[in-house]
Amino acid sequence: MSLVRVIALACVNAALLAASDSDIDVAVRGVLTRYLQLTTSDLADLQAGKVVKRGLDSTAAGEVGVVGAVRINAPKAKFLTRVRDIVRFKSGPDVVQIGRFSRPPTLDDLAALTVEAADFDRRECRVGNCGVRLPAAVIQRVEREIDPGAPDVQQRAAVLFKQVLLDDVTAYVNGSPGRFEQYDDGARPIRPLDEFEGVLRSSPALDALVPGLSDHLKTFPTGRLPDADDFLYWSKERVSMSAAFITVTHVTIVCPSAATCVMTTKDVYSSRYLDASLAISVATDSLETPSAFYLVYGNRSRANALKGGFSSLKRAIVERRARGNIEQYLRTLKAQMEKE
């Protein structure tokens, strides 16, 4: 036998041995390595208790993707319970305010949301130059209905902003006309629905884990998966020293098997920064320890600010920060769940 064949055979045997020794379900492991770009070395580190993290290949201008994973010595059901209590789960120094939408959504759901001048300033909002992401028709409505010199201008602006946000969410959950299809706050229009479809096309792990999940997200509520648990929440968040942004997120939880559950979070609206965003969390039981599970978190986001001049440098900086943030998130979550 030639030396080349000996080396090749040794590599194959090593790979098979590594696979047989793995504590992660074989189907899930295949998705992690093929679509989420984790290596066999990453999986070995993961099983050894380390946090692993990687950048994902960018598929379009302005796109950043990251993935991370950790082993948590607690039941998977505990994680799912925490996620469903989204207000408590998301609470933290960067989340200024948060609330869950009712079914159907109502204006009362937004009662705790404060909309200050830093969040939406009527006096500095016109088509092509507005501080928040809104369609031209909505900006023109603001100009018609709210006098910038009125003594209660901010109060009226807050009321109108909440109403148009509710209208957008209601159209989304009903599948009816009225969605924000284009943002006209800047020099170049942004089409968030098109940007999301691009992110979705770059996320084949969804259907590999749960057949039909991408259609569920793309056509919601028309093509819903029968066993999916869906809910929406709003939040007001702050990134570092930047201005806060108001966002609406669609959460989907579906369990293709008793051992594995998949959660996606889809950006429905963001008042700043994001053009589209999709995150996937895979919670899969340890094959050797019933009271432990592996949590894998991946995110793809697109932002207009990452396009244009120095885009590669800007993406590299954002990706590096995102990898750091994902590591901190996973370490914190692991510590909290293992302590409780």
Structure confidence by residue, pLDDT tens digits, 193-244: 999 999 999 999 999 999 999 999 999 999 899 999 999 999 999 877 678 9
Residues 165 and 255 in one domain: no
Q: Is residue 219 located within the same domain as residue 334? A: yes
pLDDT band, very low/low/confident/very high, at 6 (cuts 50, 70, 90): very low
pTM: 0.90
Cα–Cα nearest to 228, from 219, 217, 240, 236: 217
List the 95-100 sheet strands across, edge first. 52-56, 63-72, 293-302, 276-285, 260-270, 245-254, 229-237, 95-100
pLDDT tens per residue across span 171-185 = 999 999 999 999 999
72 and 131, same structural domain? Answer: no
d(CA 199, CA 68): 18
- Alpha carbon distance 276, 196 (integer Å): 5
Structure-token pair, residue 87: 């207000």
How confident is the model at residue 324, as a pLDDT? 73
- Are 154 and 271 members of one domain? no
Max intra-chain CA distance, the chain: 89
From the list 18, 244, 300, the residue with the least C-alpha distance to 131 is 244
Is residue 276 within 8 A of residue 264, CB to CB? The reply is: no
- Strand (E) positions, the chain? 52-56, 63-72, 95-100, 125-126, 129-130, 229-237, 245-254, 260-270, 276-285, 293-302
Above pLDDT 70, what percent of the chain?
89
Q: How far apart are CA 333 and CA 339, in angstroms?
A: 10
DSSP letter at 284 equals E
Q: Tell me how many domains the chain contains.
A: 2
Residues 6+ apart with CB under 8 A from 72: 79, 292, 293, 294, 295, 333, 334, 337, 338
Same structural domain, 28 and 142: no
Q: Are residues 124 and 222 in the same domain?
A: no
273: containing domain: 24-103+210-339
Residues 49 and 135 in one domain: no
CATH number of the domain bearing residue 220: 3.30.530.20
For 58-107, the pLDDT digits (tens) are 888 888 899 999 999 999 999 999 999 999 999 888 899 999 999 999 99
201 belongs to a structural domain: no
CA distance 127 to 106: 28
